[in-house]
């Protein structure tokens, strides 16, 4: 089996150098890596072809094959991603706060890398370049464990990136890939607490659960989204239709898509037929409670389980409530603390909702689909955190950093 | 066994109200709680007397008994702690950032409570009032699991605090104590992920390790400190003696005490005898490498294990190095990322050390004993974080908070 502690030692060995590396040097290295990715795309495509062949033989579903497959265009997109990261400002070393104590101690709170970041993901080779770019830009060493179905693609991408680092006089060990596909190695990776400062799982709810349950390394949970839109009695109903239509159908397989509609009973009869007409275009299946079905004859009954389900499909659950308070309680019971929206023209009602709903992002009159690092203007995104510790919502570069206190004295001792 | 999910439900039920509670109301409640603690100290002392009796029968060590024992004075200190917390500024609801996107979305990053905080600690009843005060002030519901040896003391303190809340029209469930001393309950508590947003263990390294290994709730690790002082070749040796003396002996049982001295070979012969003379006063045992023992004939040999040990005792390990780089490597290998110090008059050497050492707090010419929420001016402290996620170093009120993004739209949908 792979010696993970040895990989950990190698990551630790490059940490100090990475932390001190100038923004200029890091950006140049990212640009060169982008260039090499496109130059060596044949090599990457060959490796990906072999992965695709195995996938075919193993009967992988079409959806997963779509995610696994690389093309010249997709490799170009990876390279462009690295260029975009290079163009972002560097936040490492910035002084976040500075204060002086009565005893003369000067204390500076300085932004530093997290150190060594572990990323566990599924068979999506584009994550490989992307995760490397974000971690490298923030001065972190990274150890990747990708899905075994993409192992040859990932190994090829990592080889190109590591070669590009070496070409610049940077240690190859800023990026390491666990190539061993033995599941025990993955579990061992989750216990590599002496070397890894944080683990970020990217993928299905099952993958994330497994990491949370097994890891002794601190984890940032990302990406499960049971997002709600609440249409209030004072909603602009045309706006509400546009928002729900967008949040439900613009892209169904993403964590910020709307999975559940909550509607105030007072507008139920006016609103639901409008919504049904709009969603019919995309053949969205509607699953509602009794009061919803009294209006929408074609809707099927919604179970308790429906309200807790992230469909990632053309399905919407619907719930009727009699007040914003009831809407808040329902949402807090079933949401995944990701993104929830109220549509209303009443500021007081909106404020109640925005304060009361416990989620990373709460919207007033806008689609939940905006929960995204790029849409927020962060210029990058490693994922959407659904936990409250460390980072919440879209995680960009700053969310991949920590801080240290640097204390300047002149011989002070404690009395 | 205790129904922890029911406790979780009760904590969840008070969360929204707590988050929205005004600073004035929270502060008034804390002041009343302080008053009631002193008024009802007889009741608390009686309960503590029963705990002390059991401790006596169970042959508890003197050190632990000292921590368990309450007196009128100590209850007064608890009350004073609550009053100090009441006097601190409230940070909940503050706007941390605000920006507008080209599509007109206004995004505010607002400070919110973490939600429900779980605290697992040992037989120190003073933590009970302290942890409640900090969590309540930051709008968090708290579930406490204290050491079983202090169960009657904790129950009495919690009863007084909950009564004081109820007297103010605040739900008793803002504070809950797990009174069941069955160890399985503690383990179950660590898995209460649906209800608890963060677990903070306070206590021995063993307790913290157990929480890290068992918990599926995100954990903040606190309080293990293998702290170093490095005496550089350009150190002011008198200052170095004062700093090491203070960091080692001012209070030995605390996490920010110095456990290991690293000395540059060039000043070894001049410095070590000065240090030995000073530490003799406190009978500090010195354990050194060969080059240390060549100078200090009474020192005993230091093993690899010594360098990794947090003694919390009158013992100091000593290591000789030939450069600041070697000092940094040694410290990064053995420290617990808590607090490390360089004594030098050379700014360039100091900067190398401050950048290179991976610790929450890095000191130039000051005692490591200053790593403390009060010494930093935070006015409070829940612990010293030794991890990099979420919070690092002394944790005050802000470190018990999270944030949410509030997004104000006018019907925006994603294209």
Q: What is the pLDDT of residues B112-132, one digit of tens each?
A: 999 999 999 988 898 999 999
pLDDT (average), residues A174-179: 97
Give me the pLDDT at residue A62, please.
87
Inter-residue contact A412 to A103 (CB < 8 Å): yes
The tokens describing A288, both together, are 């509602």
- Return the residue matching tokens 């179970």: A303
Give me the pLDDT at residue B143, please.
98
Give me the pLDDT at residue B226, please.
95
Phi first, then psi: what are they for A307, rounded to 5°? -65, -20
Question: Does the beta-carbon distance from A370 to B407 stay under 8 Å?
Answer: yes
Q: How many CA atoms lie within 13 A of B35 on its CB side?
A: 11
**A24 pLDDT band (50/70/90 cuts)?**
very high
Those residues of chain B that have pLDDT short of 70 are none
Give me the pLDDT at residue A206, please.
87
Give me the pLDDT at residue B26, please.
98
Give me the pLDDT at residue A2, please.
78
CA distance B201 to B223: 9
Give me the pLDDT at residue A304, please.
93
**Residue ranges of chain A that CATH labels 3.40.309.10:** 227-370
* Residues above pLDDT 90, as percent of chain A: 90
Is the Cβ of B205 closer than 8 Å to some Cβ of chain A? no
Predicted confidence (pLDDT) at residue A172 exceeds the cutoff of 90: yes
**Residue ranges of chain B that CATH labels 3.40.605.10:** 4-222+390-408
The tokens describing A144, both together, are 């990747």
Question: Does the beta-carbon distance from B410 to A365 stay under 8 Å?
Answer: yes
Q: Which of B117, B330, B370 to mutate to test binding with chain A, by most A CBs within 10 Å of its CB?
A: B370
Q: Is A319 exposed, middle or buried (0-12, 13-18, 19+ CB in 10 A)?
A: buried
Question: Does the beta-carbon distance from B361 to A213 stay under 8 Å?
Answer: no
* pLDDT digits 0-9 by tens, A92-146: 999 999 999 999 999 999 999 999 999 999 888 989 999 999 999 999 999 999 9
> How many C-beta neighbours within 10 Å does residue A50 have?
13
Give me the pLDDT at residue B181, please.
86
Q: Which strands, in side-by-side order, build the sheet including B175-177?
A: B175-177, B141-145, B116-121, B198-202
Inter-residue contact B113 to B161 (CB < 8 Å): no
Q: Which strands, in side-by-side order, build the sheet including B401-412?
A: A300-301, A285-288, A315-321, A258-264, A227-231, A339-343, A361-366, B401-412, B106-113, B95-100
Q: Which strands, in side-by-side order, build the sheet including A198-202?
A: A175-177, A141-145, A116-121, A198-202
Predicted confidence (pLDDT) at residue A410 exceeds the cutoff of 90: yes
Give me the pLDDT at residue B123, please.
81
CATH of A4-222+390-408, one of 3.20.20.10, 3.40.605.10, 3.20.20.70, 3.40.50.1370: 3.40.605.10
Give me the pLDDT at residue B259, please.
97
Inter-residue contact A413 to B243 (CB < 8 Å): yes
The tokens describing A386, both together, are 């659904």
Beta strand pairing status for A116-121 and A141-145? parallel
Nearest CA to A286 out of A305, A244, A314 is that of A314
Nearest by CB to residue A404, choosing from B193, B360, B370, is: B360
Query: Which residues from A are below 8 Å from B193, CB to CB?
Result: 212
How far, rounded to the nearest angstrom, does the alpha carbon of residue A277 sit from its chain's CA centroid?
A: 33
Query: Which residues from B are below 8 Å from A250, CB to CB?
Result: 413-414
Q: Is A395 left (phi over 0), alpha (psi -120 to 50) or beta?
A: beta
Phi first, then psi: what are they for A136, rounded to 5°? -65, -45
Give me the pLDDT at residue A406, please.
98
Phi first, then psi: what are they for A53, rounded to 5°? -65, -45
Inter-residue contact B66 to B123 (CB < 8 Å): no
Query: Which residues from B are below 8 Å from A94, CB to CB?
Result: none
Question: Does the beta-carbon distance from B414 to A19 stay under 8 Å?
Answer: no
User: How open is the CA angle B171-B175-B180, to the nearest 5 degrees?
Assistant: 125
Inter-residue contact A259 to A316 (CB < 8 Å): yes
Query: Which residues from A are below 8 Å from B413, CB to CB?
Result: 242-243, 245-247, 250, 366-367, 369
- Local structure of A323: helix, strand or coil: coil
- The torsion of the CA quartet A276, A282, A284, A290, rounded to 10 degrees, works out to 10
Q: Which of B104, B242, B407, B409 to mutate to test binding with chain A, by most A CBs within 10 Å of its CB?
A: B407
- Local structure of A109: helix, strand or coil: strand
**A16 pLDDT band (50/70/90 cuts)?**
confident
Nearest by CB to residue B364, choosing from A198, A388, A409, is: A409
Nearest CA to B218 out of A337, A347, A30, A357 is that of A337
* pLDDT digits 0-9 by tens, A312-356: 999 999 999 999 999 999 999 999 999 999 999 999 999 999 999
Distance from CA of B14 to the nearest CA of A (A): 11
**A64 pLDDT band (50/70/90 cuts)?**
confident
Which chain A residues in 303-332 lie under 8 Å from chain B, judged by CB atoms?
328, 332
Q: Is A393 exposed, middle or buried (0-12, 13-18, 19+ CB in 10 A)?
A: buried
Give me the pLDDT at residue A204, please.
84
Question: Does the beta-carbon distance from B355 to A20 stay under 8 Å?
Answer: yes
CATH 3.40.309.10 is right for the domain spanning B227-370: yes
Question: Does the beta-carbon distance from A242 to B393 stay under 8 Å?
Answer: no
Beta strand pairing status for B227-231 and B258-264? parallel
pTM over 0.80: yes
CA distance B241 to A169: 42
Nearest by CB to residue A367, choosing from B236, B360, B412, is: B412
How does the average pLDDT of chain B come out, rounded? 95
How does the average pLDDT of chain A come out, rounded? 95
* pLDDT digits 0-9 by tens, A260-303: 999 999 999 999 999 999 999 999 999 999 999 999 999 999 99
């Amino acid at each position: 089996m792979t010696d993970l502690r040895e990989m950990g030692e190698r990551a630790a060995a490059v940490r100090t150098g990475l932390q001190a590396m100038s923004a200029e040097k890091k950006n140049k290295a990212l640009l060169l890596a982008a260039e090499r990715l496109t130059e060596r795309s044949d090599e990457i495509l060959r490796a990906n072809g072999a992965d695709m062949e195995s996938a075919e033989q193993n009967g992988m579903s079409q959806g997963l094959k779509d995610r696994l497959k690389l093309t010249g265009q997709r490799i170009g997109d990876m390279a462009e991603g690295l260029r975009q990261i290079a163009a972002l400002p560097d936040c490492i070393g910035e002084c976040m706060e500075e204060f002086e104590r009565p005893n003369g101690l000067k204390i500076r709170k300085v932004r530093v890398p997290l150190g060594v970041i572990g990323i566990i993901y599924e068979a999506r080779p584009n994550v490989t370049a992307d995760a490397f770019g974000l971690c490298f830009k923030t001065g972190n060493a990274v150890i990747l464990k990708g899905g075994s179905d993409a192992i040859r693609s990932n190994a090829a991408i990592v080889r190109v990136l590591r070669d590009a680092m070496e070409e610049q006089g940077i240690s190859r060990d800023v990026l390491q890939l666990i190539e061993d596909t033995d599941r025990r190695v993955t579990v061992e990776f989750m216990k590599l607490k002496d070397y890894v400062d944080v683990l970020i799982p990217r993928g299905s709810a099952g993958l994330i659960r497994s990491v949370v349950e097994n890891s002794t390394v601190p984890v940032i949970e990302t990406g499960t989204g049971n997002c709600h839109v609440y249409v209030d009695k004072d909603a602009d109903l045309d706006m509400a239709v546009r928002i729900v239509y967008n949040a439900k159908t613009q892209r169904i397989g993403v964590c910020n898509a709307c999975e559940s509609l909550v509607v105030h009973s007072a507008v139920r009869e006016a609103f639901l037929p409008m919504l049904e007409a709009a969603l019919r275009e995309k053949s969205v299946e509607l699953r509602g409670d009794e009061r919803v079905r009294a209006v929408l004859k074609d809707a099927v009954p919604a179970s308790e389980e429906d309200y807790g389900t992230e469909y990632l499909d053309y399905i919407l659950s619907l719930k009727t409530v009699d007040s914003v308070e009831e809407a808040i309680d329902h949402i807090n019971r079933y949401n995944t603390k990701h993104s929830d929206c109220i549509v209303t023209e009443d500021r007081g009602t909106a404020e109640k909702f925005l304060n009361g709903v416990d989620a990373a992002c709460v919207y007033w009159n806008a689609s939940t689909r905006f929960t995204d690092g790029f849409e927020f203007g962060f210029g990058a995104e490693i994922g959407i955190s659904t936990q409250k510790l460390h980072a919440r919502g879209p995680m960009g570069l700053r969310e991949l950093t920590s801080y240290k206190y640097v204390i300047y004295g002149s011989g002070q001792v404690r009395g």
